[in-house]
Amino acid sequence: MRSSHSFDETRPPVGAPWRRDPERIRIARFSPGCRVLGPGLRAVVWVQGCPLRCRECVVPEMLPFEGGKDISVHELARRLIALPDVEGVTFSGGEPTSQSAAIVRVLGLVRAERDFSCMIYSGFTYEKLLRDGDDDQRRLLSQIDILVDGPYLPERHTDLRWRGSSNQRVLFLSERYRSLQSMTEDRGHWLEFEYLPEGDLRWAGIPRRGFRRLLEEQLKERGIRLETSSGSVTDEASASEQP
Ligand code: SF4
């Protein structure tokens, strides 16, 4: 879907005040295991809400801050800790740094229990976050292992691993994965697909340009719906918080 707005580096990276709540996080989607959005087997959390409007953003349903599921950081941490085979979590979105305080809190809770790596996708550059970010955003930068930074620019669409466009960088902010640096020059489109019990389809990864529209059209012809929002994990998470 094409947005009428383009990326504006001068816009502040912080948004509505509720996103500063360190005890709550708004999530669009959760995957308990993914191999295409970072090193090894990882949980992936797609946060809901992004203040940017990259042209041809592949997840327009994740842009409004009002959508998704609002869950407690304790619930998300509990879910992550309970995944024995994953080595870490990737936060994508949406814009994870808009909910930095909550993500820092989640990482603190998880890392109190086990070693856990963290990778973040941000539409802001590292320099922009350091220069204009708030304390929570800078604190988040200090706690992550890999940052994929910068807006998606469709005219620079790429097949470089973990990136959507060639302006984006894979920055190793800790030593943990630095030995994987050469992997970031690999080329290809790595995608994962999951058929849901209801017969719908869900996918993860960074596709070719125009992939999603084509996929949706072809699936629609076959009566299959593309599932893009919260899966059962976040539904369960919300349910478990009911008094
Ligand atoms: S930063 Fe990501 S979620 Fe936000 S508009 Fe750009 S591509 Fe979409």
Burial of 220 (0-12, 13-18, 19+ CB in 10 A): exposed
Which residue type, as a one-letter code, is found at position 158? Answer: T
CB 55 within 8 A of CB 100: no
Q: Is residue 218 part of a domain?
A: no
Task: Look at 47-56, 77-86, 101-110, 189-198 and tell me which has the smallest mean pLDDT.
Answer: 189-198
Q: Is residue 85 part of a domain?
A: yes
Number of domains in the chain: 1
Task: Tell me the per-residue pLDDT of 143-187, one tens digit each, with 9 for 90 and over.
Answer: 999 999 999 999 999 999 999 999 999 999 999 999 999 999 999
Q: Is residue 122 part of a domain?
A: yes
| CA 107 – CA 134 distance, rounded (Å) | 18
Q: Is residue 6 part of a domain?
A: no
CB 164 near ligand 1, within 6 Å = no
Q: Is residue 79 part of a domain?
A: yes
Helix (H) or strand (E) holding 232: helix 232-240
Read off the CATH number of the domain in which 88 is found.
Answer: 3.20.20.70
In 3D space, the residue among 55, 31, 183, 21 whose CA is nearest the CA of residue 123 turns out to be 55
Its domain, for residue 33, covers 17-179+232-240
42: pLDDT strictly greater than 50: yes
The Å distance, Cα 60 to ligand 1 centre, comes to: 8
Task: Tell me the per-residue pLDDT of 112-136, one tens digit each, with 9 for 90 and over.
Answer: 999 999 999 999 999 999 988 889 9
The Å distance, Cα 158 to ligand 1 centre, comes to: 16
Report residue 143 as tokens: 């706690």
The Å distance, Cα 113 to ligand 1 centre, comes to: 32
